[in-house]
Chains A and B, each alone.
Chain A
Amino acid sequence: MAESDTIPKMSARGVNVFYGEKQAIQDVSIDVDLDNVTAFIGPSGCGKSTFLRTLNRMNDTVASARVEGKITLDGEDIYGANMDVVQLRARVGMVFQKPNPFPKTIYENVAYGPRIHGLASGKADLDQIVEKSLRRAGLWDEVKDRLNDSGTALSGGQQQRLCIARAIAVDPEVILMDEPCSALDPIATAKIEELILELRGNYAIVIVTHNMQQAARVSQRTAFFHLGRMVEQGPTTEIFTNPREERTKDYITGRYG
Protein backbone atom coordinates (compact mmCIF):
# COMPACT_ATOMS: atom_id res chain seq x y z
CA MET A 1 0.00 0.00 0.00
CA ALA A 2 1.14 3.47 -0.59
CA GLU A 3 2.63 5.35 2.36
CA SER A 4 1.19 8.78 2.70
CA ASP A 5 3.54 11.75 2.79
CA THR A 6 2.32 13.10 6.10
CA ILE A 7 3.44 11.45 9.32
CA PRO A 8 0.79 8.95 10.44
CA LYS A 9 -0.78 9.52 13.84
CA MET A 10 0.65 6.32 15.17
CA SER A 11 3.20 4.15 13.57
CA ALA A 12 4.71 0.84 14.58
CA ARG A 13 7.88 -0.54 13.07
CA GLY A 14 9.24 -4.02 13.65
CA VAL A 15 7.43 -4.51 16.92
CA ASN A 16 8.14 -7.67 18.89
CA VAL A 17 6.41 -8.41 22.17
CA PHE A 18 7.58 -11.07 24.57
CA TYR A 19 5.90 -12.51 27.63
CA GLY A 20 8.89 -13.92 29.42
CA GLU A 21 10.40 -16.38 26.97
CA LYS A 22 7.31 -16.61 24.79
CA GLN A 23 7.10 -14.29 21.83
CA ALA A 24 3.55 -13.00 21.45
CA ILE A 25 4.08 -10.56 18.59
CA GLN A 26 6.59 -10.91 15.80
CA ASP A 27 7.77 -8.06 13.66
CA VAL A 28 4.60 -6.06 13.24
CA SER A 29 4.68 -2.79 11.32
CA ILE A 30 1.55 -0.75 10.79
CA ASP A 31 0.39 2.84 10.53
CA VAL A 32 -2.72 4.30 12.07
CA ASP A 33 -4.09 7.56 10.76
CA LEU A 34 -6.87 9.96 11.58
CA ASP A 35 -9.04 9.42 8.54
CA ASN A 36 -9.41 5.70 8.79
CA VAL A 37 -10.78 3.33 11.33
CA THR A 38 -8.31 0.48 11.53
CA ALA A 39 -9.57 -2.97 12.41
CA PHE A 40 -7.43 -5.80 13.75
CA ILE A 41 -8.92 -9.19 13.03
CA GLY A 42 -7.67 -12.68 13.61
CA PRO A 43 -8.34 -15.84 15.55
CA SER A 44 -8.20 -15.92 19.35
CA GLY A 45 -4.71 -15.74 20.71
CA CYS A 46 -3.29 -14.31 17.51
CA GLY A 47 -1.88 -11.33 19.37
CA LYS A 48 -4.17 -8.63 18.09
CA SER A 49 -5.25 -7.55 21.56
CA THR A 50 -1.70 -7.80 22.84
CA PHE A 51 -0.53 -5.56 20.04
CA LEU A 52 -3.37 -3.12 20.69
CA ARG A 53 -2.29 -2.88 24.30
CA THR A 54 1.28 -2.07 23.36
CA LEU A 55 -0.04 1.03 21.62
CA ASN A 56 -0.85 2.71 24.94
CA ARG A 57 1.52 0.67 27.03
CA MET A 58 -1.18 -1.16 28.92
CA ASN A 59 1.17 -4.14 28.87
CA ASP A 60 3.52 -2.26 31.18
CA THR A 61 1.64 -3.63 34.15
CA VAL A 62 2.52 -7.17 33.15
CA ALA A 63 5.93 -7.60 34.71
CA SER A 64 7.18 -10.19 32.25
CA ALA A 65 6.12 -8.28 29.13
CA ARG A 66 8.88 -6.83 26.97
CA VAL A 67 8.43 -4.72 23.85
CA GLU A 68 10.99 -4.35 21.07
CA GLY A 69 10.81 -2.20 18.00
CA LYS A 70 9.54 1.32 17.65
CA ILE A 71 6.07 2.73 18.17
CA THR A 72 5.57 6.42 17.64
CA LEU A 73 2.77 8.82 18.36
CA ASP A 74 3.09 11.93 16.18
CA GLY A 75 6.64 10.83 15.49
CA GLU A 76 7.52 10.58 19.17
CA ASP A 77 8.66 7.22 20.52
CA ILE A 78 6.08 6.14 23.09
CA TYR A 79 8.54 3.81 24.77
CA GLY A 80 11.11 6.58 24.85
CA ALA A 81 12.45 8.18 28.01
CA ASN A 82 10.62 11.44 27.35
CA MET A 83 7.21 9.82 27.18
CA ASP A 84 5.17 9.86 30.37
CA VAL A 85 3.02 6.78 30.38
CA VAL A 86 0.17 8.46 32.26
CA GLN A 87 0.01 11.21 29.67
CA LEU A 88 0.33 8.69 26.87
CA ARG A 89 -2.75 6.87 28.09
CA ALA A 90 -4.68 10.11 28.19
CA ARG A 91 -3.66 10.75 24.58
CA VAL A 92 -4.28 7.18 23.52
CA GLY A 93 -7.55 6.24 25.19
CA MET A 94 -8.91 2.77 25.50
CA VAL A 95 -12.32 1.12 25.52
CA PHE A 96 -12.47 -2.43 26.77
CA GLN A 97 -14.27 -5.60 25.90
CA LYS A 98 -16.52 -5.61 28.91
CA PRO A 99 -18.16 -2.28 29.68
CA ASN A 100 -16.38 -1.21 32.84
CA PRO A 101 -17.81 2.02 34.18
CA PHE A 102 -16.58 3.04 37.60
CA PRO A 103 -19.11 2.26 40.31
CA LYS A 104 -19.75 5.97 40.59
CA THR A 105 -22.30 8.35 39.14
CA ILE A 106 -22.55 8.87 35.41
CA TYR A 107 -21.23 12.39 35.89
CA GLU A 108 -18.28 11.23 37.96
CA ASN A 109 -17.42 8.59 35.40
CA VAL A 110 -16.98 11.15 32.69
CA ALA A 111 -15.55 13.87 34.93
CA TYR A 112 -12.89 11.62 36.46
CA GLY A 113 -10.42 11.82 33.59
CA PRO A 114 -10.52 15.60 33.10
CA ARG A 115 -10.27 16.00 36.86
CA ILE A 116 -7.11 13.95 37.34
CA HIS A 117 -5.48 15.58 34.35
CA GLY A 118 -6.59 19.04 35.42
CA LEU A 119 -8.32 19.73 32.12
CA ALA A 120 -11.21 21.71 33.59
CA SER A 121 -10.76 25.15 35.09
CA GLY A 122 -13.84 25.01 37.26
CA LYS A 123 -17.13 23.35 37.95
CA ALA A 124 -18.87 25.01 35.01
CA ASP A 125 -16.05 24.03 32.69
CA LEU A 126 -16.18 20.47 33.94
CA ASP A 127 -19.95 20.37 33.45
CA GLN A 128 -19.41 21.45 29.89
CA ILE A 129 -16.79 18.78 29.22
CA VAL A 130 -19.09 16.15 30.64
CA GLU A 131 -21.99 17.26 28.50
CA LYS A 132 -19.88 17.52 25.38
CA SER A 133 -18.38 14.09 25.89
CA LEU A 134 -21.74 12.49 26.56
CA ARG A 135 -23.18 14.17 23.48
CA ARG A 136 -20.35 12.92 21.33
CA ALA A 137 -20.90 9.44 22.66
CA GLY A 138 -24.58 9.76 21.77
CA LEU A 139 -25.61 9.22 25.36
CA TRP A 140 -26.57 12.70 26.50
CA ASP A 141 -30.26 12.53 25.67
CA GLU A 142 -30.60 9.24 27.46
CA VAL A 143 -28.87 10.26 30.69
CA LYS A 144 -29.10 14.03 31.00
CA ASP A 145 -31.83 13.76 33.63
CA ARG A 146 -30.01 11.23 35.73
CA LEU A 147 -26.38 12.22 35.76
CA ASN A 148 -26.24 11.37 39.45
CA ASP A 149 -27.38 7.80 38.96
CA SER A 150 -24.77 5.11 39.16
CA GLY A 151 -23.03 4.33 35.89
CA THR A 152 -23.44 0.65 36.58
CA ALA A 153 -27.24 1.02 36.53
CA LEU A 154 -27.21 1.66 32.78
CA SER A 155 -27.78 -1.03 30.19
CA GLY A 156 -24.79 -2.79 28.66
CA GLY A 157 -24.81 -0.72 25.50
CA GLN A 158 -25.24 2.50 27.43
CA GLN A 159 -22.41 1.49 29.75
CA GLN A 160 -20.13 0.95 26.78
CA ARG A 161 -21.06 4.34 25.35
CA LEU A 162 -20.41 5.81 28.80
CA CYS A 163 -16.96 4.25 28.66
CA ILE A 164 -16.43 5.83 25.27
CA ALA A 165 -17.60 9.18 26.66
CA ARG A 166 -15.17 8.71 29.52
CA ALA A 167 -12.35 8.10 27.06
CA ILE A 168 -13.37 11.08 24.93
CA ALA A 169 -13.53 13.36 27.96
CA VAL A 170 -9.75 13.55 28.27
CA ASP A 171 -9.58 14.60 24.62
CA PRO A 172 -7.47 11.76 23.29
CA GLU A 173 -5.92 11.63 19.84
CA VAL A 174 -6.22 7.91 19.41
CA ILE A 175 -8.94 5.61 20.73
CA LEU A 176 -8.18 1.92 21.04
CA MET A 177 -11.16 -0.39 21.25
CA ASP A 178 -10.69 -3.96 22.36
CA GLU A 179 -13.73 -5.90 21.13
CA PRO A 180 -16.06 -3.18 22.33
CA CYS A 181 -19.25 -4.93 21.24
CA SER A 182 -18.59 -8.53 22.14
CA ALA A 183 -20.82 -8.28 25.20
CA LEU A 184 -23.62 -6.33 23.52
CA ASP A 185 -26.79 -7.16 21.65
CA PRO A 186 -27.12 -6.29 17.95
CA ILE A 187 -28.98 -3.02 18.51
CA ALA A 188 -26.46 -1.78 21.06
CA THR A 189 -23.71 -2.99 18.74
CA ALA A 190 -25.17 -1.02 15.85
CA LYS A 191 -25.24 2.12 18.01
CA ILE A 192 -21.59 1.69 18.93
CA GLU A 193 -20.68 1.09 15.28
CA GLU A 194 -22.54 4.20 14.23
CA LEU A 195 -20.71 6.09 16.96
CA ILE A 196 -17.36 4.79 15.74
CA LEU A 197 -18.12 6.00 12.24
CA GLU A 198 -19.13 9.41 13.62
CA LEU A 199 -15.94 9.70 15.66
CA ARG A 200 -13.81 8.82 12.69
CA GLY A 201 -11.77 11.69 11.39
CA ASN A 202 -11.55 13.37 14.80
CA TYR A 203 -9.76 10.52 16.43
CA ALA A 204 -7.58 7.80 15.06
CA ILE A 205 -9.53 4.70 15.94
CA VAL A 206 -8.20 1.19 16.20
CA ILE A 207 -10.69 -1.58 16.86
CA VAL A 208 -9.98 -5.20 17.65
CA THR A 209 -12.88 -7.42 16.80
CA HIS A 210 -13.76 -11.06 16.43
CA ASN A 211 -16.72 -10.16 14.32
CA MET A 212 -15.56 -9.87 10.74
CA GLN A 213 -18.79 -8.32 9.60
CA GLN A 214 -18.20 -5.63 12.19
CA ALA A 215 -14.68 -5.03 10.96
CA ALA A 216 -16.11 -4.81 7.45
CA ARG A 217 -18.81 -2.37 8.56
CA VAL A 218 -16.80 0.09 10.63
CA SER A 219 -13.27 0.04 9.34
CA GLN A 220 -11.57 1.43 6.30
CA ARG A 221 -8.37 -0.44 6.85
CA THR A 222 -8.01 -3.97 8.14
CA ALA A 223 -5.04 -5.90 9.42
CA PHE A 224 -5.15 -9.66 9.82
CA PHE A 225 -3.13 -11.21 12.61
CA HIS A 226 -2.22 -14.83 12.85
CA LEU A 227 0.07 -16.58 15.33
CA GLY A 228 1.59 -13.32 16.50
CA ARG A 229 2.34 -12.02 13.03
CA MET A 230 0.51 -9.50 10.96
CA VAL A 231 -0.23 -11.55 7.87
CA GLU A 232 -1.83 -8.87 5.77
CA GLN A 233 -3.10 -5.34 5.96
CA GLY A 234 -4.89 -3.19 3.46
CA PRO A 235 -8.09 -1.40 2.59
CA THR A 236 -11.00 -3.19 4.21
CA THR A 237 -12.84 -3.63 0.90
CA GLU A 238 -9.85 -5.41 -0.51
CA ILE A 239 -9.23 -7.61 2.49
CA PHE A 240 -12.83 -8.74 2.48
CA THR A 241 -13.30 -9.24 -1.24
CA ASN A 242 -9.90 -10.18 -2.45
CA PRO A 243 -7.29 -10.91 0.19
CA ARG A 244 -3.85 -11.63 -1.15
CA GLU A 245 -2.77 -14.11 1.47
CA GLU A 246 -4.15 -17.62 1.61
CA ARG A 247 -4.31 -17.53 5.43
CA THR A 248 -6.33 -14.33 5.39
CA LYS A 249 -8.74 -15.80 2.90
CA ASP A 250 -9.13 -19.02 4.83
CA TYR A 251 -9.82 -17.06 8.00
CA ILE A 252 -12.36 -14.62 6.68
CA THR A 253 -14.21 -17.22 4.64
CA GLY A 254 -14.52 -19.49 7.65
CA ARG A 255 -12.07 -22.15 6.60
CA TYR A 256 -9.75 -21.52 9.50
CA GLY A 257 -8.88 -24.50 11.56
Chain B
Amino acid sequence: MTDHTVKAFDDDINALRALIAEMGGLTEDAIDNAMKALTTRNLDLAKQVVAGDTRIDELDAHIERLVVQTIALRAPLADDLREIVAVLKISGIVERMADYAKNIAKRVETVTANSRMEPLSLLPSMAEIAREMVKSALDAFIARDAKLALQVIERDRAVDDFYNSIFRTMVTFMMENQKMISESAHVLFIAKNLERIGDHATNIAEMVHYVATGEKPPEREKSSMIDPMER
Protein backbone atom coordinates (compact mmCIF):
# COMPACT_ATOMS: atom_id res chain seq x y z
CA MET B 1 0.00 0.00 0.00
CA THR B 2 1.38 3.41 -0.97
CA ASP B 3 2.10 5.97 1.69
CA HIS B 4 -0.07 8.92 2.43
CA THR B 5 1.05 12.25 1.05
CA VAL B 6 0.93 13.48 4.64
CA LYS B 7 3.49 11.23 6.32
CA ALA B 8 2.25 11.99 9.81
CA PHE B 9 -0.99 10.20 8.91
CA ASP B 10 0.98 7.04 8.21
CA ASP B 11 2.78 7.52 11.51
CA ASP B 12 -0.53 7.73 13.34
CA ILE B 13 -1.88 4.60 11.72
CA ASN B 14 1.34 2.71 12.31
CA ALA B 15 1.34 3.76 15.96
CA LEU B 16 -2.19 2.43 16.32
CA ARG B 17 -1.29 -0.85 14.68
CA ALA B 18 1.75 -1.19 16.92
CA LEU B 19 -0.40 -0.58 19.97
CA ILE B 20 -2.89 -3.23 18.85
CA ALA B 21 0.01 -5.65 18.27
CA GLU B 22 1.39 -4.97 21.72
CA MET B 23 -2.00 -5.36 23.32
CA GLY B 24 -2.59 -8.59 21.38
CA GLY B 25 0.76 -9.99 22.47
CA LEU B 26 0.01 -9.21 26.10
CA THR B 27 -3.42 -10.83 25.81
CA GLU B 28 -2.00 -14.00 24.23
CA ASP B 29 0.51 -14.17 27.09
CA ALA B 30 -2.29 -13.67 29.58
CA ILE B 31 -4.28 -16.60 28.11
CA ASP B 32 -1.16 -18.71 27.99
CA ASN B 33 -0.13 -17.90 31.54
CA ALA B 34 -3.61 -18.34 32.94
CA MET B 35 -3.78 -21.83 31.47
CA LYS B 36 -0.22 -22.59 32.61
CA ALA B 37 -1.17 -21.49 36.14
CA LEU B 38 -4.22 -23.72 35.96
CA THR B 39 -2.36 -26.84 34.80
CA THR B 40 0.69 -26.34 37.02
CA ARG B 41 -1.35 -25.03 39.96
CA ASN B 42 0.88 -21.97 40.05
CA LEU B 43 -1.01 -19.38 42.10
CA ASP B 44 1.75 -16.76 41.74
CA LEU B 45 1.51 -16.90 37.99
CA ALA B 46 -2.25 -16.56 38.26
CA LYS B 47 -1.83 -13.42 40.36
CA GLN B 48 0.58 -11.99 37.78
CA VAL B 49 -2.01 -12.47 35.07
CA VAL B 50 -4.63 -10.64 37.14
CA ALA B 51 -2.22 -7.79 37.81
CA GLY B 52 -1.14 -7.61 34.17
CA ASP B 53 -4.65 -6.78 33.01
CA THR B 54 -4.27 -3.18 34.22
CA ARG B 55 -1.67 -2.59 31.57
CA ILE B 56 -3.99 -3.90 28.86
CA ASP B 57 -6.77 -1.63 30.08
CA GLU B 58 -4.38 1.32 29.88
CA LEU B 59 -3.45 0.43 26.32
CA ASP B 60 -7.12 0.21 25.41
CA ALA B 61 -7.78 3.68 26.83
CA HIS B 62 -4.76 5.03 25.02
CA ILE B 63 -5.85 3.54 21.71
CA GLU B 64 -9.27 5.10 22.08
CA ARG B 65 -7.72 8.50 22.68
CA LEU B 66 -5.43 8.18 19.69
CA VAL B 67 -8.26 7.03 17.43
CA VAL B 68 -10.45 9.99 18.37
CA GLN B 69 -7.53 12.28 17.79
CA THR B 70 -6.72 10.78 14.41
CA ILE B 71 -10.32 11.05 13.24
CA ALA B 72 -10.45 14.66 14.35
CA LEU B 73 -7.15 15.68 12.81
CA ARG B 74 -6.84 13.53 9.70
CA ALA B 75 -10.45 13.02 8.65
CA PRO B 76 -9.75 9.50 7.36
CA LEU B 77 -11.81 8.12 4.49
CA ALA B 78 -12.39 4.81 2.75
CA ASP B 79 -9.98 2.06 3.90
CA ASP B 80 -8.29 4.43 6.34
CA LEU B 81 -11.63 5.11 7.93
CA ARG B 82 -12.52 1.44 8.02
CA GLU B 83 -9.17 0.59 9.52
CA ILE B 84 -9.32 3.21 12.22
CA VAL B 85 -12.84 2.26 13.21
CA ALA B 86 -11.68 -1.38 13.26
CA VAL B 87 -8.75 -0.44 15.48
CA LEU B 88 -11.14 1.10 17.97
CA LYS B 89 -13.36 -1.95 18.01
CA ILE B 90 -10.51 -4.48 18.02
CA SER B 91 -8.93 -2.70 20.94
CA GLY B 92 -12.18 -3.07 22.87
CA ILE B 93 -12.45 -6.74 21.93
CA VAL B 94 -8.87 -7.53 22.88
CA GLU B 95 -9.43 -5.81 26.20
CA ARG B 96 -12.43 -8.06 26.72
CA MET B 97 -10.40 -11.16 25.84
CA ALA B 98 -7.81 -10.10 28.37
CA ASP B 99 -10.63 -9.83 30.89
CA TYR B 100 -11.56 -13.45 30.16
CA ALA B 101 -7.95 -14.51 30.72
CA LYS B 102 -8.00 -12.62 33.99
CA ASN B 103 -11.25 -14.36 34.87
CA ILE B 104 -9.65 -17.74 34.22
CA ALA B 105 -6.67 -16.83 36.36
CA LYS B 106 -9.00 -15.86 39.22
CA ARG B 107 -10.61 -19.30 39.16
CA VAL B 108 -7.26 -21.12 39.33
CA GLU B 109 -7.21 -21.18 43.16
CA THR B 110 -10.67 -22.69 43.54
CA VAL B 111 -10.34 -25.23 40.77
CA THR B 112 -6.91 -26.50 41.83
CA ALA B 113 -7.95 -26.95 45.46
CA ASN B 114 -9.12 -30.40 44.49
CA SER B 115 -6.64 -32.44 42.50
CA ARG B 116 -9.07 -34.86 41.07
CA MET B 117 -10.54 -32.62 38.46
CA GLU B 118 -10.46 -34.94 35.50
CA PRO B 119 -11.84 -32.87 32.60
CA LEU B 120 -9.00 -30.42 33.05
CA SER B 121 -7.14 -32.47 30.48
CA LEU B 122 -9.34 -31.11 27.65
CA LEU B 123 -9.00 -27.45 28.59
CA PRO B 124 -5.33 -26.90 27.56
CA SER B 125 -5.99 -28.13 24.01
CA MET B 126 -9.04 -25.88 23.75
CA ALA B 127 -7.05 -22.95 25.15
CA GLU B 128 -4.29 -23.64 22.63
CA ILE B 129 -6.72 -23.35 19.74
CA ALA B 130 -8.32 -20.21 21.16
CA ARG B 131 -4.91 -18.61 21.68
CA GLU B 132 -3.89 -19.56 18.15
CA MET B 133 -7.04 -17.94 16.85
CA VAL B 134 -6.31 -14.73 18.70
CA LYS B 135 -2.80 -14.69 17.35
CA SER B 136 -3.90 -15.43 13.79
CA ALA B 137 -6.66 -12.83 13.90
CA LEU B 138 -4.25 -10.17 15.07
CA ASP B 139 -1.58 -11.31 12.61
CA ALA B 140 -4.19 -11.04 9.87
CA PHE B 141 -4.96 -7.54 11.04
CA ILE B 142 -1.33 -6.50 11.00
CA ALA B 143 -0.80 -8.05 7.56
CA ARG B 144 -4.22 -6.94 6.25
CA ASP B 145 -4.63 -10.57 5.25
CA ALA B 146 -8.23 -11.44 4.41
CA LYS B 147 -7.39 -15.09 3.68
CA LEU B 148 -5.85 -15.68 7.08
CA ALA B 149 -8.88 -14.00 8.63
CA LEU B 150 -11.19 -16.44 6.85
CA GLN B 151 -9.15 -19.35 8.25
CA VAL B 152 -9.60 -17.95 11.75
CA ILE B 153 -13.32 -17.77 11.20
CA GLU B 154 -13.32 -21.39 10.09
CA ARG B 155 -11.50 -22.52 13.23
CA ASP B 156 -14.12 -21.05 15.51
CA ARG B 157 -16.09 -24.24 14.95
CA ALA B 158 -13.33 -26.31 16.54
CA VAL B 159 -13.49 -24.20 19.69
CA ASP B 160 -17.26 -24.53 19.75
CA ASP B 161 -16.96 -28.28 19.38
CA PHE B 162 -14.49 -28.40 22.23
CA TYR B 163 -16.85 -26.42 24.36
CA ASN B 164 -19.78 -28.67 23.57
CA SER B 165 -17.73 -31.72 24.38
CA ILE B 166 -16.50 -30.23 27.68
CA PHE B 167 -20.02 -29.17 28.53
CA ARG B 168 -21.35 -32.71 28.13
CA THR B 169 -18.39 -34.19 30.00
CA MET B 170 -18.86 -31.80 32.90
CA VAL B 171 -22.59 -32.42 33.15
CA THR B 172 -21.89 -36.15 33.41
CA PHE B 173 -19.03 -35.52 35.84
CA MET B 174 -21.22 -33.35 38.07
CA MET B 175 -23.95 -35.99 38.17
CA GLU B 176 -21.35 -38.51 39.28
CA ASN B 177 -19.43 -36.29 41.72
CA GLN B 178 -21.97 -34.15 43.41
CA LYS B 179 -19.49 -32.94 46.01
CA MET B 180 -17.50 -31.22 43.32
CA ILE B 181 -20.27 -29.28 41.69
CA SER B 182 -18.79 -25.92 42.72
CA GLU B 183 -15.37 -26.70 41.24
CA SER B 184 -17.02 -28.22 38.19
CA ALA B 185 -19.01 -25.08 37.64
CA HIS B 186 -15.79 -23.11 37.68
CA VAL B 187 -14.28 -25.41 35.10
CA LEU B 188 -17.37 -24.95 32.98
CA PHE B 189 -16.98 -21.19 33.21
CA ILE B 190 -13.34 -21.46 32.20
CA ALA B 191 -14.42 -23.42 29.14
CA LYS B 192 -17.07 -20.82 28.47
CA ASN B 193 -14.45 -18.07 28.74
CA LEU B 194 -12.23 -19.85 26.24
CA GLU B 195 -15.19 -20.27 23.92
CA ARG B 196 -15.92 -16.52 24.18
CA ILE B 197 -12.30 -15.73 23.41
CA GLY B 198 -12.66 -17.82 20.29
CA ASP B 199 -15.85 -15.95 19.34
CA HIS B 200 -14.13 -12.61 19.80
CA ALA B 201 -11.18 -13.72 17.73
CA THR B 202 -13.72 -14.54 15.05
CA ASN B 203 -15.20 -11.07 15.36
CA ILE B 204 -11.76 -9.57 14.92
CA ALA B 205 -11.19 -11.75 11.87
CA GLU B 206 -14.47 -10.55 10.40
CA MET B 207 -13.44 -6.97 10.92
CA VAL B 208 -10.05 -7.63 9.37
CA HIS B 209 -11.80 -9.07 6.36
CA TYR B 210 -13.96 -5.96 6.06
CA VAL B 211 -11.00 -3.62 6.46
CA ALA B 212 -8.99 -5.46 3.86
CA THR B 213 -11.69 -5.99 1.25
CA GLY B 214 -14.45 -3.57 2.16
CA GLU B 215 -16.86 -6.50 2.33
CA LYS B 216 -18.27 -8.63 5.13
CA PRO B 217 -17.04 -12.25 5.06
CA PRO B 218 -19.53 -14.77 3.71
CA GLU B 219 -22.10 -15.80 6.31
CA ARG B 220 -21.12 -19.13 7.91
CA GLU B 221 -23.50 -21.69 9.36
CA LYS B 222 -23.56 -21.78 13.10
CA SER B 223 -22.60 -24.99 14.81
CA SER B 224 -25.53 -26.53 16.61
CA MET B 225 -25.34 -24.80 19.92
CA ILE B 226 -26.49 -26.19 23.17
CA ASP B 227 -26.29 -23.06 25.19
CA PRO B 228 -29.50 -21.15 24.50
CA MET B 229 -28.49 -18.32 26.83
CA GLU B 230 -25.61 -17.26 24.63
CA ARG B 231 -26.99 -17.35 21.18
Q: Chain A interface (Cβ within 8 Å of chain B)?
A: 212-213, 216, 240-243, 248-250, 252-257
Known: A241-B82, A242-B82, A242-B214. A253 touches B75 (CB 8 A): no
CB nearest neighbor in A for B85: A241
Known: A240-B77, A242-B214. A253 touches B4 (CB 8 A): yes
Q: Would B82 and A254 count as touching, CB distance under 8 A? A: no
Q: Would A253 and B3 count as touching, CB distance under 8 A? A: no
Q: Is B172 an interface residue, CB under 8 A from the partner? A: no
Chain A nearest Cβ from B53, distance in angstroms? 34
Instruction: State in angstroms the CA–CA spacing of A241 and B75 once bound together.
Output: 12
- B79 to chain A: which residues have CB within 8 Å? 242, 249, 253
- A248 to chain B: which residues have CB within 8 Å? 78
Q: Is B121 an interface residue, CB under 8 A from the partner? A: no
Q: Would B2 and A212 count as touching, CB distance under 8 A? A: no
- A242 to chain B: which residues have CB within 8 Å? 78-79, 82, 214-215
CB nearest neighbor in A for B215: A242
Q: Is B217 an interface residue, CB under 8 A from the partner? A: no
Instruction: State in angstroms the CA–CA spacing of A249 and B215 once bound together.
Output: 15
A-B contact pairs, 29 of them (CB 8 A): A212-B77, A213-B75, A216-B77, A240-B77, A240-B78, A241-B77, A241-B78, A241-B81, A241-B82, A241-B214, A242-B78, A242-B82, A242-B215, A248-B78, A249-B78, A252-B77, A253-B4, A253-B76, A253-B77, A253-B78, A253-B79, A253-B80, A254-B5, A254-B6, A254-B9, A255-B3, A255-B5, A256-B5, A257-B5
Instruction: State in angstroms the CA–CA spacing of A255 and B3 once bound together.
Output: 6
CB nearest neighbor in B for A238: B214
Number of A-B contacts (CB under 8 A): 41
Instruction: State in angstroms the CA–CA spacing of A250 and B79 once bound together.
Output: 9
Instruction: State in angstroms the CA–CA spacing of A242 and B215 once bound together.
Output: 8
- B1 to chain A: which residues have CB within 8 Å? 255
In order of increasing CB-CB distance, the 8 nearest A-B pairs are: A242-B214, A252-B77, A253-B80, A255-B2, A254-B4, A249-B78, A253-B78, A240-B77
| Binary contact readout B51-77 vs A (1 if CB under 8 angstroms, 0 otherwise) | 000000000000000000000000111
Instruction: State in angstroms the CA–CA spacing of A213 and B75 once bound together.
Output: 8
- A252 to chain B: which residues have CB within 8 Å? 77-78
Given contacts A252-B77, A255-B5, 20 further A-B contacts (CB under 8 A): A213-B75, A216-B77, A240-B77, A240-B78, A240-B81, A241-B77, A241-B78, A241-B214, A242-B78, A242-B79, A242-B214, A249-B78, A252-B78, A253-B4, A253-B78, A254-B5, A255-B1, A255-B2, A256-B5, A257-B5
- B215 to chain A: which residues have CB within 8 Å? 242
Instruction: State in angstroms the CA–CA spacing of A125 and B3 once bound together.
Output: 59
CB nearest neighbor in B for A250: B2
| Binary contact readout B70-104 vs A (1 if CB under 8 angstroms, 0 otherwise) | 00000111111110000000000000000000000
Chain A nearest Cβ from B168, distance in angstroms? 43
Q: Would B78 and A243 count as touching, CB distance under 8 A? A: yes
Chain B nearest Cβ from A1, distance in angstroms? 16
- A240 to chain B: which residues have CB within 8 Å? 77-78, 81
- B4 to chain A: which residues have CB within 8 Å? 253-255
CB nearest neighbor in B for A256: B5
Instruction: State in angstroms the CA–CA spacing of A15 and B4 once bound together.
Output: 32
CB nearest neighbor in A for B3: A255
Chain A nearest Cβ from B5, distance in angstroms? 5
Instruction: State in angstroms the CA–CA spacing of A252 and B75 once bound together.
Output: 10
Instruction: State in angstroms the CA–CA spacing of A239 and B56 once bound together.
Output: 36
Instruction: State in angstroms the CA–CA spacing of A248 and B79 once bound together.
Output: 11
CB nearest neighbor in A for B81: A241
Instruction: State in angstroms the CA–CA spacing of A212 and B78 once bound together.
Output: 12
- B214 to chain A: which residues have CB within 8 Å? 241-242
**Residue of B5, B6, B77, B214 ringed by the most chain A CB atoms within 10 A:** B77
Chain A nearest Cβ from B39, distance in angstroms? 45
